[in-house]
């Protein structure tokens, strides 16, 4: 079985490698147009578009294409990647000492024995930050780390010192809910990792 990650995200690549998967990386070229309004529906729609795009262009028999999309939400506002350092600072100031949600949608296009079908799901994790002083916020923003991350932070990096608690899957916040992904694949195969 060939696995294809339809994403150029270094975080998702690292997570799949840590889990023991052997896979190819073929980023989707699809335009990320949103037609849904609920966060869970948005990430599932985008994940589906990515997975279907890569399968259409590179899929083959006996393969699984993994598409994923992650958004950060606070009080119904979607926080994407900040445009600049000022926006990153504003986002983090808003999230400090509060709880927000991280949604990741995953779509699997599975081709097996001549049959193709799709499994799409979403995981949500609550993340609570500690109060954060202005000096720490400025130092983190100046590091440049927030600029390529939804919500302007990475939980797996230096910003981890400001994360008070999470409720849900930690890996979901990084960008890919590994446990749910594996359980979904188990419904298709005896053990996806036994093929290594």
pLDDT, one tens digit per residue, over 69-108 is: 999 999 999 998 899 999 999 999 999 999 999 999 999 9
**Average pLDDT rounded to a whole number, residues 10-38:** 92
The residue whose two tokens read 């190819």 is: 24
Residue 1 in this model has a pLDDT that exceeds 80: yes
Domains of the chain: 2-195 (3.90.950.10)
Flag whether pLDDT at 25 surpasses 70. Answer: yes
Catalytic residues: 69
Confidence bin at 181 (pLDDT 50/70/90) = very high
Give the position of tokens 């926080």: 79
Find out whether 162 and 129 touch, Cβ atoms under 8 Å. Answer: yes
Q: What does the pLDDT average to over 161-179? A: 97
pLDDT at 68: 97
Residue 31 banded pLDDT, cuts 50, 70, 90: confident
192, 185 contact by CB (below 8 A): yes
The pLDDT score that the predictor gives to residue 188 is 81
Segment 37-56 mean pLDDT: 96
pLDDT the model gives residue 195: 54
Between residues 61 and 39, which one has the greater pLDDT?
Answer: 39
| Other CB atoms within 10 Å distance of the CB of residue 186 | 12
Q: Could you give the C-alpha distances from 131 to 33, 74, 94, 105, 155, in angstroms and in order?
A: 35, 16, 10, 29, 16
Cα-based torsion angle of the residue sequence 55, 60, 62, 63 in order, rounded to the nearest 10 degrees:
-30
Q: In whole angstroms, give the CA distance from residue 146 to residue 159.
A: 9
Mean pLDDT of 127-136: 97
Confidence of residue 196 (pLDDT cuts 50, 70, 90): very low
Among 23-32, 101-110, 118-127, whose mean pLDDT is lowest?
23-32
Asked whether residue 172 carries a pLDDT value surpassing 70, the answer given is yes
H-assigned helices in the chain: 10-19, 39-58, 85-95, 134-142, 170-174, 178-186
Distant-in-sequence, close-in-space partners of 118: CB < 8 Å, separation ≥ 6? 48, 51, 52, 107, 108, 109, 110
pLDDT at 114: 85
| Mean pLDDT of all residues belonging to the chain | 93
Which among 67, 90, 85 has a CA at the least distance from the CA of 8?
A: 67
Helical segments of 37-176, H only: 39-58, 85-95, 134-142, 170-174
């Amino acid at each position: 079985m060939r696995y294809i990650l339809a994403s150029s995200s270094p975080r998702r690549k690292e997570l799949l490698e840590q889990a023991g998967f052997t896979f190819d990386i073929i980023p989707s070229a699809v335009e990320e147009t949103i037609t849904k309004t609920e966060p869970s529906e948005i990430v599932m729609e985008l994940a589906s578009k990515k997975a279907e795009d890569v399968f259409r262009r590179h899929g083959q028999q006996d393969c699984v294409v993994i598409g994923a999309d992650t958004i950060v939400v606070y009080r119904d506002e979607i926080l994407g990647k900040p445009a600049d350092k000022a926006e990153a600072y504003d986002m983090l100031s808003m999230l400090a000492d509060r709880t927000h949600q991280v949604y990741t949608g995953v779509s699997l296009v599975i081709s097996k024995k001549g049959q193709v079908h799709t499994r799409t799901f979403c995981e949500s994790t609550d993340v609570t930050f500690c109060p954060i002083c202005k000096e720490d916020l400025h130092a983190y923003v100046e590091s440049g780390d927030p600029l390529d991350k939804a919500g302007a932070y990475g939980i797996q990096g230096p910003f981890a010192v400001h994360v008070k608690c999470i409720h849900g899957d930690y890996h979901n916040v990084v960008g890919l809910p590994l446990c749910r992904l594996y359980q979904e694949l188990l419904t298709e195969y005896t053990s996806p990792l036994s093929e290594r």
